[in-house]
Amino acid sequence: MAYTCSVCNQVVDGDLVAFQDHTEDHIIDVIKSKNPDWVESDGVCQKCVEYFRKQIKGEG
Ligand SMILES: [Zn+2]
């Protein structure tokens, strides 16, 4: 089943990434700061999760 990621607007095969633990809360904050219209229930693709995880780790 395909869906469109609300963050990167790509059509992705697979399931939405569910946010459950505390680390994911921080990801949500970062996504919202960059995409004010995004809400958690829109979901996000795995690629975006990994991208935002790197942002949180403060690389650079
Ligand atoms: Zn995405």
Q: What residue spans define the domains of the chain? A: 2-56
Residue 46's closest CA among 19, 21, 17? 17
In the reported structure, the alpha carbon of residue 45 is separated from the centroid of ligand 1 by a whole-number distance in angstroms of: 4
In the reported structure, the alpha carbon of residue 51 is separated from the centroid of ligand 1 by a whole-number distance in angstroms of: 9
11 close to 2: Cβ distance less than 8 angstroms: yes
53 close to 19: Cβ distance less than 8 angstroms: no
In the reported structure, the alpha carbon of residue 36 is separated from the centroid of ligand 1 by a whole-number distance in angstroms of: 15
In the reported structure, the alpha carbon of residue 47 is separated from the centroid of ligand 1 by a whole-number distance in angstroms of: 6
pLDDT 10s digits, 11-59: 988 766 766 666 778 888 999 999 999 998 888 888 898 899 888 887 6
Q: Give the model's pLDDT for residue 57.
A: 82
In this prediction, residues 7-12 reach a mean pLDDT of 90
With 0-12 / 13-18 / 19 or more C-beta atoms within 10 angstroms meaning exposed / middle / buried, residue 48 is: buried
Task: Report pTM.
Answer: 0.74
In the reported structure, the alpha carbon of residue 5 is separated from the centroid of ligand 1 by a whole-number distance in angstroms of: 5
- Would you state the structure tokens that stand for residue 50, as one six-digit string? 């990994």
Cα separation, 54 vs 33, in Å, equals 15
